[in-house]
Amino acid sequence: MAKTSKKATRKFEKNHLKDSLERRKVGAKIKQKVQIKEKRALRNAKDAEFLGKGKAEDGEEGAPEPKADPFGQMSVDDFFAGGFEVPEKLAKKNAKKALGKRKRSEPEAEKEDEEGDSSDASYEEAPVASDDEGSEDEDEDMGMSKEAMEALAEKDPEFYKYLKENDPETLDFDEDADLAEVDGLSGSEEEEQRPKKKSKKSKKAKAEEMEVDEESEEEMLDETEVTKEMVAKWKKAMSEQHSLRAMRQVVLAFRAAAHVNENEGKDYKYTITNPEVYHQLLVVTLQLVPEVLQHHLPVKESAAGKIRVSTDSKKFKTLTPLLKSHTTSVQHLLTTLSDEATLKLTLSTINPLLPYLLPFKKVLKGIVKTVVDIWSDASSSEATRITAFLVVRRLAVIGDAGLREAVLKTVYQGLVKGARNTTIHTIQGINLMKNSAAELWGLDPTIGYTTGFTFIRQLAIHLRSSITNNAKESYKTIYNWQYIHSLDFWSCVLAEHCSPLNEAARGKESQLRALIYPAVQVTLGAMRLIPTATYFPLRFHLVRSLLRLSRATGTYIPLAPLLLEVLSTAEMKKHAKPSTQRPLDFSVSYKAPKIYLRTRVYQDGVGEQVVELLGEFFVLWCTSVAAPELGLPVIVMLKRWLKEAGAKTGNRNGKVNAALGILVQKIEANGRWVEERRVKVEFAPGNRAGVEGFLKGFEWEKTPLGAYVVGQRKQREEKARVLEAGRRDEDKKGGKRGRGEDVQMDDVVESSDEGEDDE
């Protein structure tokens, strides 16, 4: 039978237990305050005895200031902004309780101290401090102030020597206080090695430690020239012992190296004048600092890619200023480096530091901006750009939603900035940026959708403003390389993450699929803004973007009318004049210079583009059950156009007309081929599953139109290879025409916009 409590006990628990506990807590608080006052008085008496002064002359520690309310000078907003933490001085008062014995557990005592009356605390108006800062102050309070120690050494050297040998704790003080902020707070190794009880080391060992401390203090007073021996010593200590002291010195020297040859009026602890020492210091710092951090603060990564670092530990908080200083130096160094090998090494060393920097959003945003600038810089090599992108991708993977959104926005801004000038020399780098950045939008579909919607909406707003604005130059906000590459980039993003293959791997439809329609509408609107021959190259660029999107997602986009509009212009229907100009490179042009208009060379180029793009469009649906009906209107219009072009008043361009005639034949043959197989089906047109399964899995290359398109692709690849080889030969001979020639061509077009747009 279960044992039951007495009736009196139950009655007491119900009516009087709570009040009894409250009275007990109040009594404990009063008792604890008395103990704190007694310990403070005892300590003040000891300091007065050391200094030989009275209590009235002891300054801040001797004479208590008038009692004040710790929250008296705080507004309500300041209190809540402080995160419900106690003021800094009050935290110090509570920390002193560690000097006496406690009859209650630590968490309970700390909780009651925060709730207790603060009238006994002597402090000035100060910012709030966390519990960890209070624990650091506890260690400082246990030691003796530097002024008291110096006075004691002068007055009673024998007693000072006795304390040094038997109770070094009393003589502890912050020997790095004279350094800069980072130097003073980064001396974590000294704090870790500082004894919490009376030291049991030998007198000889203690004397050696004092000598090392004195040497460190002397080094701080004047600038020190970094030598090879110093770098070797630091390297050995960091690689073999994972020394935090050596790492601190290396970080300080690295900071001076990062700002070498700069006249900013700042004084650094170290100076570097030898180039070999500079190189050795950079290598040692970049390679070993992450290793030492990993040793003392190991990073734990789960199988899902989640990162965990012990950011609440005292060691992490002590190393935080050192870590921030090193990161700032690395960031500054990245902006000054020009050597590709050193730049890649510096970028690669950022990856191990990222987990430690996650709590510091401002530092990370600065790093991301600097790295993205390198990634989007046209002068950076492909290997350097890939290394920079890996840093950005790593941060997007391990960061939270807010940081991931900031990364995506910065990357997109860098892409738009890097695509300002497009030439034969920069087009490969721009394509690399678009293909690599597209991957980031699939890491978090929710953030990817929100940012994608925002940027596509921004493009739509620019387009609408250009249409509704009657200003003469309003179209230039749309017809430029940045806008074109932005639309092309979103086609890359949607094509990569909305493909049926990727969606099947994820097991659900991509959230980004909802962006296909607005992206297509904005692209179609941009193409038709100024439908003149000058901007045929821009139209071809955007048609290729939509072809990529349609091919990857299986979305039908009516592109044939856009290409037939090109054939219906006077540029393609009228006879062209001969020209000696070299063929226009449509891959790096979005508008044609005035000297190309109505010329045979431009007509040939436009005709080739139309034939290629029409073939690429129809080959997407060459195995569709509706292929014959899809191609019929285009076949009729192309035959009518060929008949007019062959007349006396036509363009009489045999090259273009012959290519279009062959394309018509291939489209007709493909339609007949589909009809032969369509006769055997047993499903009705309303059967969606049957329609989608028609010729599913059949290789499109084996269709009549598919075989033709494959052959045309091979010819274009061979032609591009020959042109690239010729361009490289010209570059070697000193006839390099890259950026300057293209910029000059753009300038010619700008000057002739007025006459061309009226066409």
Mark 19-47 as b/e (b = at least 16 C-beta within 10 Å).
Answer: eeeeeebeebbeebbebbeeebeebbeeb
DSSP notation for 121-163: ----S--B--HHHHHHHHHHHHS--HHHHHHHHHH-HHHHHHH
- In the chain, where the domains are located: 18-142, 573-757
Asked if 517 contacts 739 with a C-beta cutoff of 8 angstroms, the reply is no
The candidate with the shortest Cα–Cα distance to 491, out of 509, 466, 518, is 518
CA distance 196 to 192: 10
pTM of the shown model:
0.70
- Do residues 246 and 191 lie in contact, with contact meaning Cβ atoms separated by under 8 Å? no
Residue 4, pLDDT score: 56
Distances (CA, A) of 279 to 7, 128, 286, 322: 83, 43, 11, 21
CA dihedral of 718, 719, 722, 727, whole degrees rounded to 10: -140
Q: What is the CA radius of gyration of the chain?
A: 38
Instruction: Report the pLDDT value the prediction gives residue 758, as an integer from 0 to 100.
Output: 41
Give CA–CA dist 180/109, Å, rounded: 36
- For the chain, which residues score pLDDT lower than 50? 1-3, 53-72, 75-77, 79-144, 169-170, 172-221, 735-759
Q: Are 677 and 670 in contact (CB under 8 A)?
A: no
Q: Specify the DSSP element, H or E, that contains 301.
A: strand 300-301
> Rounded to whole angstroms, how far apart are CA atoms 219 and 271?
12
The C-alpha atoms of residue 386 and residue 380 are separated, in whole angstroms, by 10
Contacts 24+ apart (CB under 8 A), 344-347: 344/383, 344/384, 344/387, 345/283, 345/286, 346/282, 346/286, 347/371, 347/374, 347/384, 347/387, 347/388, 347/391
What pLDDT score does 621 carry? 95
Query: Which residues pair with residue 568 across a beta bridge?
Result: none
Position 666 scores a pLDDT of: 97
Q: Distance between CA 670 and CA 674 in Å, rounded? A: 6
**Contacts of residue 108, Cβ cutoff 8 Å, sequence gap at least 6:** none
Q: What local confidence, expressed as pLDDT, does residue 578 receive?
A: 92
Per-residue DSSP letter, 581: P
Q: Which amino acid is at 363?
A: V
Tally of CB atoms within 10 A around 106? 10
Q: Which of 88, 317, 353, 329 is nearest to 188 (CA)?
A: 317
Report residue 716 as tokens: 């274009």
State CA 382 to chain mean position distance: 18
Q: Work out the burial of residue 527: count CB atoms within 10 Å of its CB; fewer than 13 is exposed, 13-18 middle, 19 or more buried.
A: buried
Q: Is 191 exposed, middle or buried (0-12, 13-18, 19+ CB in 10 A)?
A: middle
Is residue 165 a contact partner of residue 206, using CB atoms and an 8 Å limit? yes
Closest-CA residue to 748 (of 606, 597, 607) = 597
Q: How many CB atoms lie under 10 A from the CB of residue 650?
A: 17
